[in-house]
Amino acid sequence: MSPTARLTKKGQATKERIVSTAADLIFEHGVAGTSIEDVRKAASVSGSQMAHYFQDKRHLVQEVVDYQADLVLGVQRSPRLETFSDLRRWAAINVEQQRERNCEGGCRFGSLAGELVEADRDTRRQLARGFDRWESVLRDGLQLMYDRGDLRPEADPDKLAMTLLAALQGGTLLTQTMRSTDPLEAVLDSVIEYVESFAADPASVARA
């Protein structure tokens, strides 16, 4: 039985509150810039409560990685990505999110990956699983478009999904660094035009 399974409902709620507090602090200050003590204070819990739920900072950070993956995937899944116009909407949502944050902080999950990828093997694998899940969400939509015949037989849903995810990650890092949504808009527009170039019926592609 995992430690989580043994928690009472109240205990589970407290643990979740600590993780979401830690996620917000880390999103703002980075992993290196966030101490266990910062999280404890911000979540208003005692030192013994912190120790009860998390062996050490590494374990807390691992929970944050899963938390951000879930959050990002929740956002990415809605709206569904099953049509060319869904892809355009997906791009617009990601750009709008950066604009609302004045391009600060980057991608909730990608920033964690950038900081932690070389930390240790377990964390890297956990980050890889997060990106895998994310790519699957994109691929499922593209596969559906493929199976439905919206995409020509030459299209490769795997490759297209990886292209969209990489474009989003790279575009977000450039947008964060330059504090302008231009890079993200440029690369997402390019890769979506690339996906659209595989449209079986070019007329089905709604141009902006």
- Under DSSP, is residue 116 helix (H, G, I), strand (E, B) or coil? helix
Minimum CB distance to a second copy smaller for 53 or for 76: 76
Handedness of CA 67, 186, 204, 136 (dihedral sign): negative
Judged by CB under 8 A, the residue of 12, 16, 52, 105 near a second copy is 105
Q: Is 87 in the site for a second copy (CB under 8 A)?
A: no
Q: Is 21 in the site for a second copy (CB under 8 A)?
A: no
Q: Is 29 in the site for a second copy (CB under 8 A)?
A: yes
DSSP string, 44-68: T--HHHHHHH-SSHHHHHHHHHHHH
Minimum CB distance to a second copy smaller for 19 or for 160: 160
**Smallest gap, in angstroms, from Cβ of residue 12 to a second copy?**
29
Judged by CB under 8 A, the residue of 19, 25, 113, 142 near a second copy is 113
**Smallest gap, in angstroms, from Cβ of residue 127 to a second copy?**
5
**Smallest gap, in angstroms, from Cβ of residue 60 to a second copy?**
16
**Smallest gap, in angstroms, from Cβ of residue 106 to a second copy?**
7
**Would you call the peptide bond into 79 cis, given omega within 30 degrees of 0 as the criterion?**
yes
Q: Is 120 in the site for a second copy (CB under 8 A)?
A: no
**Nearest one of 41, 94, 31, 106 to 64, comparing CA atoms:** 31
* CA–CA gap between residue 48 and residue 2 (Å, rounded): 20
- Residue 171's Cβ-count burial label (10 Å; 0-12, 13-18, 19+) is buried
Question: What residues numbered 141-180 form the site for a second copy, per CB under 8 A?
Answer: 158-160, 162-163, 165-174, 176-179
Q: Is 182 in the site for a second copy (CB under 8 A)?
A: yes
Max Cα-Cα span within the chain: 62
Q: Judged by CB under 8 A, which stretch of 53-61, 86-94, 110-118, 142-150 contacts a second copy?
A: 110-118
Tokens in use for 101?
Answer: 């944050």
Cβ neighbours of residue 95 under 8 Å, at least 6 residues apart? Answer: 181, 184, 185, 188
- Under DSSP, is residue 151 helix (H, G, I), strand (E, B) or coil? strand
State the residues that interact with a second copy by CB under 8 A: 28-32, 104-106, 110-111, 113-115, 117-118, 124, 127-128, 131-132, 158-160, 162-163, 165-174, 176-179, 182-184, 186-187, 189-191, 193-194, 197
